[in-house]
Structure 1
Amino acid sequence: MVDHKDCGDTNKVLQITNLFKDLSSEEKISTLEEIIHACEPTELKFLSDRLEIFLKRDFVRYLPNEVCVYLLSWLDPISLGRCCLVSKTWNDVISSCLPAWVRACKSIGWKVNDSNTSGVYWKKAYARALTRIKQLKYGSAFEEGYLLGHAARVYTVKFNGSNLLASGSDDHTVRLWDVDTGECLRTIQTHTCADLAFDSCFVYTASFDNTVSCWKWANGELVRNYRGHTGAVFSISYHEERDLLVSGSADKTVRLWQLSTGEQINMYHGHREWVTKVLLKKSKVESLHHKPGDFVVLSMDKTLIKIWIISKEVNCECLGELSAIDSFQGPCLTSEQEHSFFHPQLLFDGSRIMCSSDRGVMEWDFTDYTLTRVTPHCNDPTYLLGAGDMMLFTADTRENCLFIRMPGSALENQSQNPKKLDSQISASTNHSNLSPSPETVDYEQDSVNEPSCSTSTGHRPELLPRFSSRCTKSDNSVTPTDESVDVASHLASHDDELVNDINFNNIKMSADHHKSASINHDAANRSCAILGRWKLPLCRWSKRGSNYVCGDQSWLNGFSDVNNSGLVFAAALPNHSIYILQWSEFT
């Protein structure tokens, strides 16, 4: 039996539907609006549920995984982190997007190990990197402490690359410290130290008494002296493999010694000022003068850096000479340019030479000794503490501040027009920030810009305190956990400005410096980008660069899971203590 009522209802629906189809688009919209107003809540919910099926299609659920990964890889990492919170399906797909997370890690200077092919691993690595960068920006990346024990001015501090720090003082002692615990492991009686170098068995000291000496850590025994200089010895460097030690002195000479016997092998002449820094290093590049693996000697006074070959030849000529005025081009130099000076320190990694000057942080290619980069000072001239492919570590001695910053852009090849080369640097240098030409510098005196702080009365080896009020955790920093959703929440919580301020993709590596394009104003602005700033207590800044030291510098080539820990910086203070700065732990 046919239900005539149901047939009538069906006919009505069909008639209404047919009438609706015949309406224009505007009429349909008006009709729907009237229908919506006439609906009850139950009917509106039904309408909402049905519309979601037709309008909100989850492309991640319906498209092949490869296509989804390709589409999502175009998003920036912060947006990817937010997308991870949409659903578990989205989180799983985005977490497997390896190229996007590797690219994200590289963009903020995190070292990438190509052997690891897990997208989840690099997603978590990116979250850890953001945490460290945020700590740098907001001043919570470091912990500070103090080593007490010396009874007179500390002239030199040196770091061995692991956890040992050695210090030499005017109290005629050299101390060996464990920077992790603050314990003084050794104290030996010596002469006044201007500089030192050490290993696990011996410590070599340069002194104002014109000698270099070798001492045993175990019992403080004097093993041998290296005699010959006629002025204070300011710097030493040695290499046990080659059985060589090199020294630089106020007598304006550089001397090469046999490490094991103390015999003088050669004496290099040519400096017109006191030699304040010497290095004995292996070359990593090939040129007309040396091949990879050859040892070379570098020496510096306040205006020149000289490169010497290791030889017994008398009156040996230097291989090359670098000047603090190399960045000034043109036939005529101003009085200010003619009196441009180097600042500590001299760095050499086997392929490039770096030093700070009045003009900026200068970098030379060791293959042909050409100037390849000048990173201008942002404010006052700064001392160079460490340098890598990704970052520079500098100190403003007037403000007593440490800066972690991006390097400047590479210069064009110097075969170009000299005026054009000079304009590249001038475009990113504010000459009004350059300090007046200094007078004759007393290299035995330290620079202290304020009245001395109170003198410590205790001499017990101690680390005070491990945690400073200046290194409390940032309220906004969130440590990633093993849970994927927590990592996603951590990524989504970071603002875009933090990431946009830090982009290492455009930094040319040292091997490409002489091939890269000239400086423009955008690059000049980037070269002053400050990634982190840390206010120091009142430090003694030696003009020789001997009483402060950078810790492990591998993080300047890019952060990783293992290289942002341990000592960052150490310096002598006016109260005879040693200030140390270490990486804080992820909590």
Structure 2
Amino acid sequence: MERPQFEAWLDSVSASFVSLSDAQRNASLDRLISLSGASQLRHLSNGLEALVKRDFVRLLPLELSFYLLRWLDPETLLTCCLVCKTWNKVISSCTEVWQGVCSDLGWRIDESIQEAPAHSEAPLVQAPRAEAAHAEAPRAEAAHAVGPRAEAAHAQGPRAAAAHAEAPRAEAAHAEAPRAEAAHAEGPRAEAAHAQGPRAEAAHAEGPRAEAAHAEGPRAEAAHAEGPRAEAAHAEGPRAEAAHAQGPRAEAAHAEGPRAEAAHARGPRAEAAHAQGPRAEAAHAEAPHWKAAHAEAPRAEAAHAEAPRAEAAHGEAPHWKAAHGEAPHWKAAHGEAPHWKAAHGEAPHWKAVYLKARRRMTQLREQRAFETSSLIGHSARVYALYYRDGLLCTGSDDLSAKLWDVRTGQCVYGIQTHTCATVKFDETKLVTGSFDNTVACWEWSTGAKIQQFRGHTGAVFSVDYNDGLDILVSGSADFTVKVWALTAGVCLNTLTGHTEWVTKVILQQSEVESVAHSPGDYILLSADKYEIKVWPLGREINCVCLKTLCVSADRSVSLQPRLQFDGRHIVCSSDLGVYQWDFASFEVLRVIKVQDPANLSLLSFGEVFALLFDNHFLYVMDLRTEAISGRWPLPAYRKSKRGSSFLPGGTAWLHGLDGRNDSGLVFATSMPDHSIHLVLWKENG
């Protein structure tokens, strides 16, 4: 078939093919493939490979790759990491994506996590942008290596950077000739003209043609500046251009082939030959350790440019680190500090963080996150518990109080006391409220009673104190709250207004501004079965409370015996659910309805999670969805109505897990056999 006829036939077939449905097009292609021979199939394969097998992750700019990755779920991202090393590096370095999915799992993202030790995840965290900066942007890297002058040239644009990087005689001019310093002082263009020699100055004087060469890039400008021979070398490719830049010997080596070039590179002019290639400006490095890195470890540099082990090669040499961006000016010159940090392992590997977070959440869901232990030592019922910094204090009917190391299960201190209804301690002392209507202060080291507070006419169910204010507060079964001088033991004030046992008192600084208080003001909260009262901390006799909070005005709904106040919010559970009030306005922010609110009690409330429990299970609730993330079975324990015989452990994880705060005590409660049942975090491994 003649060409005109073939083209007419091809146009006709194409027009018909476009008008077909997808199914008809597929059938047509199947027929054509079945009729094709080896030559046609090979042609089809070559054409399809460019269209179907194109690696968009490798070809797209990193910003676009990251944007697309944000649309994928974590499971798909992990699958994509298995495709190839390049995909794994791109996906692993997409910090924002992994931080987002970690946050969705309840992981806390803060500055302390981002400051990880250098090279902590170096084999996995290799950002392509940082690698590309080494492989494709030698001018910026060399500008940093040469020192402040080269860096300044790089910052001023390609012309200044190229000018600084030209021929060896430019280096000599900088090092030996006063004229070099004068040219540098006059500005980047004068320095460029001087660095390239008389021919560069002539090129600069030619005007538009030189400017056109400059527009094509630093290499074209340099080729134009040095004459026809250089332009020819530029046209032949980077190797020919590098050979021209090195002089006649290098050109001869280039003409003879790779072996001659290699021989030339190993000779006395090896450093110069190395300097004129992609890392040309590195030869100007004024720091001896940079030259040492190039002269003594060429294999490491080659590995850095062409193989994954490159990062390890350059990461282990201290002088390489110094040359590659731990100085502030590197960050300024490149403007890509986060990617560079990711490539060098100075930021956490967020894919690994996500995997750890997912494993922990799976353990919670499958009841594998915790383990149990017991503390045995008391001979009568344990009514009072208080936890702080890995230490648990227990007060018992056996007229003793004990301090336990939760991690080891060992008793650190044991002192003889009165019957304890509530306890609170610090490093030196223990404060106890008793069923004998008194409050006492004990010294741990000697076991001696150093102060006693008398005045209540009922059992003391709750105490709190502040050493800085020298104040102790107590709530009692006599319906009153008393304020005491901590060191003197003198009652400063008695607050009345409760009509039930005062089962909880909290002394805490306000963190918000309102009509009644300012940030930093100390506030006293007290709770009974139906009400929460907010008091000013003053010495006014019979002072009136600032606010009374309740769930129902007719007292038809009871509060559970747990109260939490962090200076911003008041949280308490009730027979209707968990209530959260804003402390600035005293408005109800949210009510979390639970399945069995009468039996489900609040242990602690955070920004991300809440810890609750009932007669059979310990529950972890995700407050963002109000769904139960996990639960843990509990034995038959003694659940006091005052809430003093059970407590949460460390609560920092309730504001978001971070891989470090999910350890230690989660929950403790007294048992009918006088032991203490502990629920502890199991190691996340």
Would you say same fold, with TM above 0.5? yes
> Which 10-residue stretch deviates more, 18-27 or 379-388?
18-27
RMSD: 2.4
Q: Can you list the C-alpha shifts for 1:535-574, whole angstroms capped at 9, x where unaligned?
A: 1111111111101111111111111122111111111011
1:58 counterpart (55, 59, 68):
55
Query: With CA pairs under 8 Å and 6+ residues apart, which has the higher RCO, 1 or 2?
Result: 1
Q: Decide which structure has greater strand share.
A: 1
| Corresponding position of 2:635 | 537
| Corresponding position of 2:369 | 141
1:94 aligns with 2:91: yes
> Which 10-residue stretch deviates more, 21-30 or 375-384?
21-30
Q: Distance in 2 between matches of 1:272 and 1:28?
A: 85
2:386 counterpart (134, 137, 158):
158
Gaps spanning 5+ residues in structure 2: where?
A: 115-337
| Corresponding position of 2:309 | none
- Counterpart of 1:229 in 2: which secondary structure? coil
| Corresponding position of 1:278 | 505
Q: Can you list the C-alpha shifts for 1:179-215, whole angstroms capped at 9, x where unaligned?
A: 0000011111111100000011111111000001111
1:567 counterpart (662, 665, 679):
665
Change in CA separation of 1:174 and 1:14 when aligned onto 2, cut-off 3 Å: farther
Change in CA separation of 1:285 and 1:380 when aligned onto 2, cut-off 3 Å: closer
The number of equivalent residue pairs is 446
Q: Distance in 2 between matches of 1:34 and 1:122?
A: 50
| Corresponding position of 1:550 | 648
2:560 counterpart (343, 359, 369):
343
1:393 aligns with 2:598: no
Matched AA of 2:373:
G
Displacement of 1:76 in angstroms is 2.5
Q: Distance in 2 between matches of 1:15 and 1:186?
A: 104
1:183 counterpart (384, 401, 410):
410
Matched AA of 1:217:
W
Q: Distance in 1 between matches of 2:108 and 2:534?
A: 32
Alignment of 1:512-531 (within 5 A): 526-527=625-626, 529-531=627-629
Displacement of 1:100 in angstroms is 1.7
Q: Distance in 2 between matches of 1:210 and 1:122?
A: 55
Q: Can you list the C-alpha shifts for 1:60-82, whole angstroms capped at 9, x where unaligned?
A: 12222222222222223332222
Q: Give 1 or 2 for the bigger CA radius of gyration.
A: 2
2:675 counterpart (570, 577, 580):
577
- Counterpart of 2:357 in 1: which secondary structure? helix
Q: Distance in 2 between matches of 1:172 and 1:40?
A: 97
Matched AA of 1:63:
L
Q: TM-score of the superposition, structure 2-length normalised?
A: 0.62
Displacement of 1:368 in angstroms is 2.3
Alignment of 1:218-257 (within 5 A): 218-257=445-484
Q: Distance in 1 between matches of 2:3 and 2:438?
A: 108
| Corresponding position of 2:620 | 404
Q: Distance in 2 between matches of 1:533 and 1:344?
A: 21
Q: Distance in 1 between matches of 2:30 and 2:401?
A: 88
Instruction: Report if the CA contact (8 A) 1:175-1:188 is conserved.
Output: yes
| Corresponding position of 1:515 | none
| Corresponding position of 2:580 | 363
Instruction: Report if the CA contact (8 A) 1:95-1:120 is conserved.
Output: no
Q: Can you list the C-alpha shifts for 1:79-109, whole angstroms capped at 9, x where unaligned?
A: 2222222221111111222222222222222
Displacement of 1:387 in angstroms is 0.4
Change in CA separation of 1:13 and 1:538 when aligned onto 2, cut-off 3 Å: farther
Matched AA of 1:564:
D
Instruction: Report if the CA contact (8 A) 2:429-2:443 is conserved.
Output: yes
- Counterpart of 2:445 in 1: which secondary structure? coil
Change in CA separation of 1:45 and 1:537 when aligned onto 2, cut-off 3 Å: farther
Change in CA separation of 1:29 and 1:180 when aligned onto 2, cut-off 3 Å: closer
Q: Distance in 1 between matches of 2:51 and 2:360?
A: 44
Instruction: Report if the CA contact (8 A) 1:206-1:233 is conserved.
Output: yes
Q: Distance in 2 between matches of 1:364 and 1:77?
A: 36
Displacement of 1:532 in angstroms is 1.0
1:33 aligns with 2:30: yes
Matched AA of 1:205:
T
Matched AA of 2:79:
R
Q: Can you list the C-alpha shifts for 1:245-304, whole angstroms capped at 9, x where unaligned?
A: 100111111001111111111000111111111111111112122211111111111011
Change in CA separation of 1:60 and 1:546 when aligned onto 2, cut-off 3 Å: same
- Counterpart of 1:60 in 2: which secondary structure? helix
Q: Distance in 2 between matches of 1:77 and 1:313?
A: 59
Instruction: Report if the CA contact (8 A) 1:343-1:356 is conserved.
Output: yes
| Corresponding position of 1:377 | 594
> Which 10-residue stretch deviates more, 133-142 or 380-389?
380-389
Change in CA separation of 1:263 and 1:97 when aligned onto 2, cut-off 3 Å: same
- Counterpart of 2:349 in 1: which secondary structure? helix
Instruction: Report if the CA contact (8 A) 1:216-1:223 is conserved.
Output: yes
2:436 counterpart (198, 206, 209):
209
| Corresponding position of 1:516 | none
Identity of aligned residues (%): 45
| Corresponding position of 2:351 | 123
Matched AA of 2:611:
F
Q: Distance in 1 between matches of 2:669 and 2:38?
A: 73
Displacement of 1:580 in angstroms is 0.7
Instruction: Report if the CA contact (8 A) 2:574-2:597 is conserved.
Output: no
Displacement of 1:378 in angstroms is 2.2
Change in CA separation of 1:366 and 1:48 when aligned onto 2, cut-off 3 Å: same
Q: Distance in 2 between matches of 1:13 and 1:207?
A: 108
Change in CA separation of 1:58 and 1:578 when aligned onto 2, cut-off 3 Å: same
Instruction: Report if the CA contact (8 A) 1:96-1:120 is conserved.
Output: no
Q: Can you list the C-alpha shifts for 1:108-164, whole angstroms capped at 9, x where unaligned?
A: 22111247354762222222111111111111111111111111111011101x110
| Corresponding position of 1:290 | 517
Alignment of 1:445-464 (within 5 A): none
Instruction: Report if the CA contact (8 A) 2:529-2:561 is conserved.
Output: no
Matched AA of 2:382:
V
Q: Distance in 1 between matches of 2:27 and 2:374?
A: 78
Instruction: Report if the CA contact (8 A) 2:503-2:561 is conserved.
Output: no
1:197 aligns with 2:424: yes
- Counterpart of 1:52 in 2: which secondary structure? helix
Instruction: Report if the CA contact (8 A) 1:307-1:321 is conserved.
Output: yes
Change in CA separation of 1:17 and 1:581 when aligned onto 2, cut-off 3 Å: farther
Matched AA of 2:670:
A
Q: Distance in 2 between matches of 1:307 and 1:180?
A: 37
Matched AA of 2:582:
D
Displacement of 1:52 in angstroms is 2.7
Instruction: Report if the CA contact (8 A) 2:103-2:109 is conserved.
Output: yes
> Which 10-residue stretch deviates more, 258-267 or 29-38?
29-38
Q: Distance in 1 between matches of 2:682 and 2:3?
A: 72
2:400 counterpart (164, 170, 173):
173
Q: Distance in 2 between matches of 1:268 and 1:106?
A: 44
Change in CA separation of 1:574 and 1:75 when aligned onto 2, cut-off 3 Å: same
Q: TM-score of the superposition, structure 1-length normalised?
A: 0.72
Displacement of 1:12 in angstroms is 10
- Counterpart of 1:542 in 2: which secondary structure? coil
Q: Distance in 2 between matches of 1:396 and 1:40?
A: 75
Matched AA of 1:137:
R
| Corresponding position of 1:269 | 496
